[in-house]
């Protein structure tokens, strides 16, 4: 294993110094320190294990100027969002951390560990293993959770006539990146808007909403690449299409005010929002309305699942075919 610090800290020094205290949550029989972890499921044995993993790379998924604390929190939140989309309860996570030598120092690692701990404690999930190595900055988190048998929300359950809902606000992630590109000084990362800064680095994992809707939703996906792109993934899995009413998109007044000509595109194609997009059958729409009214779920209806024609699964915008040149985030392009 590579040594990852200019002051000769080994991988094991780094683990003992910065990550050992993140492994004490319930259900961990053996955490960090052995060749592999031992974890214990909850007392009910009729649960599925839910596993999700994401890699965040410096300069691709967050700015190279980002701080360690913010990088750690973003990495945790976007991974927790995948569990929320399945209706799962987070339990454990592993961390793969690649660091250039100039960052493998106590100040950076201390801030990174502190950021991880806040989110891990908030969602009661324990670090149970991983790896550290020297290389370009990247953070890989694998999140593990539990969901009762037959209750996981997948992408392939939507049916014609289902109502399409989204949680929270759309377009914040793209607006935050726009602010970053236009920031006055390199040190001002997103500080033109504290709200957008927090929405980018600490998007709210909709774990609570996922648990509330998993008994009534027919399909669900988290919005990471953009509403149109991700809803199309859901439709393709369900062999359907969707029609979205643009005027119903939930967009924060701040984004509308500062980006009057772009906010619709931000919401439709921008990505990085990590909200849930899910479908509910018309027979459960009243139940959904009560959840919204009681503020158990922060969501609004934005469209409907429709039959696919000969062109395959599509997302229509106000009944019209979406501009094919406008797509969400794509890797390797």
Stretch (H or E) spanning 289: helix 285-293
Domain ranges of the chain: 11-148, 163-321
3-state secondary structure of 207: helix
Q: For the domain bounded by 11-148, which CATH number is listed?
A: 3.30.1330.10
**CA-to-CA distance for 280 and 219, rounded, in angstroms?**
8
Longest Cα–Cα distance in the chain: 63
- Taking only the tens of pLDDT, the chain with its 333 residues reads 344 444 555 554 554 554 455 555 565 554 555 555 566 676 666 888 888 989 999 888 888 888 999 999 999 999 999 999 999 999 999 999 999 988 878 889 999 999 999 999 999 998 988 888 899 999 999 999 999 988 999 999 999 999 999 999 999 999 998 876 665 544 444 456 889 999 999 999 999 999 999 999 999 999 999 999 999 999 999 999 999 999 999 999 999 999 999 999 999 999 999 999 999 999 999 999 999 999 999 999 999 999 998 778 899 999 998 765 555 554 334
Q: Are strands 126-134 and 89-99 parallel, antiparallel or unpaired?
A: parallel
pLDDT of residue 45: 64
Phi/psi for 24 (5° steps) reads -105, 5
3-state secondary structure of 32: strand
What residues have CB less than 8 Å from 227, skipping those under 6 apart?
166, 170, 244, 249, 267, 268, 269, 273, 277, 328
pLDDT of residue 301: 98
Fold of domain 163-321: Phosphoribosyl-aminoimidazole Synthetase; Chain A, domain 2 (3.90.650)
C-alpha 101, offset from chain centre: 28
What residues have CB less than 8 Å from 296, skipping those under 6 apart?
208, 212
**CA-to-CA distance for 118 and 73, rounded, in angstroms?**
8
């Amino acid at each position: 294993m590579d040594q990852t610090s200019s002051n000769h800290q080994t991988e094991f020094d780094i683990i003992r110094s910065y990550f050992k205290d993140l492994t004490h949550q319930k259900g961990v029989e053996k955490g960090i320190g052995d060749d592999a972890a031992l974890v214990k499921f909850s007392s009910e044995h009729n649960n599925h294990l839910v596993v999700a993993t994401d890699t965040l790379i410096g300069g691709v998924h967050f700015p190279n100027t980002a701080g360690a604390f913010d990088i750690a929190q973003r990495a945790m939140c976007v991974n927790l969002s995948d569990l929320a989309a399945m209706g799962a309860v987070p339990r454990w996570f592993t961390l793969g951390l690649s660091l250039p030598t100039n960052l493998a120092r106590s100040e950076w690692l201390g801030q990174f560990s502190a950021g991880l701990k806040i989110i891990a404690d908030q969602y009661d999930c324990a670090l149970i293993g991983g790896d550290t190595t020297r290389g370009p900055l990247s953070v890989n988190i694998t999140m593990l959770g539990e969901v009762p048998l037959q209750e996981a929300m997948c992408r392939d359950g939507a049916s014609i006539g289902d109502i399409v809902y989204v949680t929270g606000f759309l377009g914040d992630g793209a607006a935050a990146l726009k602010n970053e590109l236009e920031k006055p000084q390199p040190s001002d990362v997103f500080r033109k808007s504290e709200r957008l800064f927090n929405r980018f680095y600490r998007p709210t994992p909709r774990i609570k909403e996922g648990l509330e809707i998993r008994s009534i939703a027919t399909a669900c996906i988290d919005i990471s690449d953009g509403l149109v792109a991700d809803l199309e993934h859901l439709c393709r899995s369900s062999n359907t299409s969707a029609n979205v009413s643009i005027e119903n998109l939930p967009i924060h007044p701040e984004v509308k005010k500062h980006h009057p000509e772009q906010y619709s595109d931000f919401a439709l194609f921008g990505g990085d929002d990590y909200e849930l997009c899910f479908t509910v059958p018309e027979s459960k729409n009243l139940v959904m309305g009560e959840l919204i009214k009681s503020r158990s779920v922060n969501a609004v209806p934005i469209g409907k699942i429709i039959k696919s024609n000969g062109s395959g699964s599509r997302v229509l915008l106000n009944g019209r075919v979406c501009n094919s040149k406008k797509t969400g985030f794509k890797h390797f392009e």
